[in-house]
Chains A and B, each alone.
Chain A
Amino acid sequence: MIELQAVSKLYRQGHVNEIAAVREVDLTLADNAVTVLKGPSGSGKTTLLTIIGCLARPTSGRVRLDGESLSGLPEKFLAGIRRKTFGFAFQRFNLVSGLTAFENIMLPAYPLAPRFSDLRARVHELAGLFGVSHRLDLRVDDLSGGEMQRVAVARALINDPRVIIADEPTANLDSERAAQFLDIVATLKARGKTVLMTSHDPRIWNAAVVDRVVEMADGRIVGAP
């Protein structure tokens, strides 16, 4: 379980152009559920996602994972938590250009240094799950948008994390690809994963697989069932 307690995030703190991206947010995310953060641009969704995913630290407030506070941990430990607990699928996929799909999927596992044969088997398993087995040897620059996204999701799962974080996952996808993505989410949920997404997209909010929609505006939560 992930708990946020009075979490705020200020950018350019102390300067005249200080921005409060997130203000006093209290939120609890249950395990094995699909949660969507919705809201207009600038409402603080992505910033909240980065704080939950240990990519950024809150300016104030606490983030707890299974009761353990993450807010004061040094960067080295946060990197370890990012690696083992969270898998990230970014809006622009953020695959490493010039590497093959196979190499990109393996990347989060490098610091854990598993046996290469085990890692290769895991890559093939995930590629099979998301229908990109036949594209593994291609450079990611040569993949279609949908294939890139599936490679990005496979990469997010390579270390078998508990929580999948996806930022605007359907922003660049047509209806068919968006539906495929929701199928992937359903698969992840069926495998016991917790999924947290941000989205502008009504196709996401209204999807049957989504358990909870949290609405944000001006850095605050304005609607959370």
Chain B
Amino acid sequence: MNAWLARQRYLVDYAAASLWRRRAKNAGLWLIYVGLIFILGSVILFGSAIRREAGWTLEGSPDVVAQAMRMGRHDFARESDIAKLKSLRGADRIEGRLWGYLFDTATAANYTLQVPSAFAPDYALARGEAIIGEGVARLRKLSEGRHLFLVSPASKFLKLRIRKILPTSSALASSDLVLVSQEDFRAFFELAPDQFTDIAMRVRNPGEVNTIAGKGALALAHYRFITRASMQRTYEALFSWREGLLLALLVGAMLAFAILAFDKASGLSAQERREIGILKAIGWETSDIIRMKLWEASLISLTAFLAGVALAHAHVFLMSAPLIEAVLKGWSTLYPRFTLAPYVDALQIATLAFLTVVPYIAAVLAPIWRAASADPDSVMR
């Protein structure tokens, strides 16, 4: 074992010296390699972190949401229907929710207007007060104590004093949020007192969520019951779809790199071939040469991989992924601004390594094997 290790140390030593001797050629390849891993790593790290973030955000959402349907379209929920659901055993905190979208022509952004839950006293608002998301504050250049002016589609005017701005840590869900009092909301959107956007329910036993949703569907046949698990699946599908789209676009870049790596490796220079011949002539075995070249390829690919992943990590978790956020993060001009919690999925890092390191080593191995198998007497001729 010690002899094997000592031999590998000599081979690594030679491989490192060999890389240094051809540093200009290798540096170019290394930089392209780092760039590829950086962008692929950014997409993968961002995708997994944002899915996790969405999961955390949904943890605070209701167990079941009931939406009234009419002709296959979302309709208003009624006070009388809320009363019917309250008779279901196992469900509590049943309340009608009020929320809706407002397109703000001044900033060309969509806001989500919402009335805070009656079960969240910290967010209780009086008429004329609002709590806003950080995206709205940023876009409208607002701070606490100042006023937000909104105009409804029916040209109704609403003046709100900013009581609080929601922290950026919750910006994925709240960036475009404007929390207002129920009175203001109904007046602004001209909503009747018994109308609600939908109905939220909490279920005491998590194992009973589907059963309660099923019972609710029996009680209110024209309602659609959405569980938190299915919302989570929708979020995951959305971010996975975006990530997949971007990865599909990057397949071209990966192929280009594979071709470049193969071209570099198969185009062994005359000097490199001669060097291999010399090493064989002075007693190196074919396997020694292949191992040495594998060390060379491993040093390039592993350092490029580590550098690329480290850069991707910094890009995603320290800088909030400015290069890819436009595709992966938001859905309007009001992109949420938040810092993702650092999270590394070992399986995804392994997948990234498999997609980048393994093809590179495979691409260099075949031409090296051919050159190393040549007769050593070539150096004498």
- A interface vs B, CB < 8 Å? 46-47, 49-50, 55-56, 75-76, 79-80, 82-84, 86, 88, 90-91, 94-99, 103, 107-108, 110-115, 155-156, 159, 167
Closest to A161 in B: B283
The 5 closest A-B pairs by CB, nearest first: A83-B283, A113-B6, A98-B21, A56-B377, A113-B7
> Please, which residues of chain A bring their CB within 8 A of the CB of B274?
94
> Please, which residues of chain B bring their CB within 8 A of the CB of A82?
281-283, 376
Closest to B379 in A: A94
Q: From the candidates A80, A99, A110, name the one contacting B11 in the complex (CB within 8 A).
A: A110
Closest to B10 in A: A110
Contact (Cβ within 8 A) A108 B285: no
Contact (Cβ within 8 A) B280 A113: no
1/0 per position for B262-283, CB-CB distance to A under 8 A?
A: 0000000001001101111111
Contact (Cβ within 8 A) A50 B287: no
Most chain A beta-carbon contacts within 10 A, residue among B274, B277, B283: B283
Contact (Cβ within 8 A) A155 B380: no
Contact (Cβ within 8 A) A113 B10: yes
Q: Is B17 an interface residue (CB 8 A)?
A: yes
> Please, which residues of chain A bring their CB within 8 A of the CB of B281?
55, 82, 88, 90, 94
Per the bound structure, the CA–CA distance linking A76 and B284 in Å amounts to 9
- B interface vs A, CB < 8 Å? 3, 6-7, 9-11, 14, 17, 21, 271, 274-275, 277-288, 375-377, 379-381
> Please, which residues of chain B bring their CB within 8 A of the CB of A50?
377, 380
Per the bound structure, the CA–CA distance linking A90 and B281 in Å amounts to 10
| Interchain residue pairs with CB less than 8 A apart (15) | A46-B380, A50-B377, A79-B284, A80-B285, A82-B281, A83-B282, A86-B283, A88-B281, A90-B281, A90-B379, A94-B278, A98-B17, A108-B284, A111-B7, A113-B3
> Please, which residues of chain A bring their CB within 8 A of the CB of B271?
97
Give the shortest distance, in Å, between A92 (CB) and chain B (any CB).
Answer: 9
Closest to B274 in A: A94
Per the bound structure, the CA–CA distance linking A107 and B315 in Å amounts to 43
Per the bound structure, the CA–CA distance linking A76 and B376 in Å amounts to 12
Q: From the candidates B14, B277, B280, name the one contacting A110 in the complex (CB within 8 A).
A: B14
Q: From the candidates A88, A97, A99, A111, name the one contacting B288 in the complex (CB within 8 A).
A: A111
Per the bound structure, the CA–CA distance linking A55 and B378 in Å amounts to 9
> Please, which residues of chain A bring their CB within 8 A of the CB of B279?
96, 107
> Please, which residues of chain B bring their CB within 8 A of the CB of A79?
280, 283-286
Per the bound structure, the CA–CA distance linking A156 and B283 in Å amounts to 10
Per the bound structure, the CA–CA distance linking A49 and B279 in Å amounts to 18
Per the bound structure, the CA–CA distance linking A82 and B3 in Å amounts to 20
Per the bound structure, the CA–CA distance linking A107 and B379 in Å amounts to 16
> Please, which residues of chain A bring their CB within 8 A of the CB of B3?
113
Closest to B278 in A: A94
> Please, which residues of chain B bring their CB within 8 A of the CB of A114?
6
> Please, which residues of chain A bring their CB within 8 A of the CB of B14?
107, 110
Give the shortest distance, in Å, between B200 (CB) and chain A (any CB).
Answer: 71
Per the bound structure, the CA–CA distance linking A47 and B377 in Å amounts to 8
Per the bound structure, the CA–CA distance linking A95 and B282 in Å amounts to 10
Contact (Cβ within 8 A) B284 A111: yes
> Please, which residues of chain B bring their CB within 8 A of the CB of A155?
282
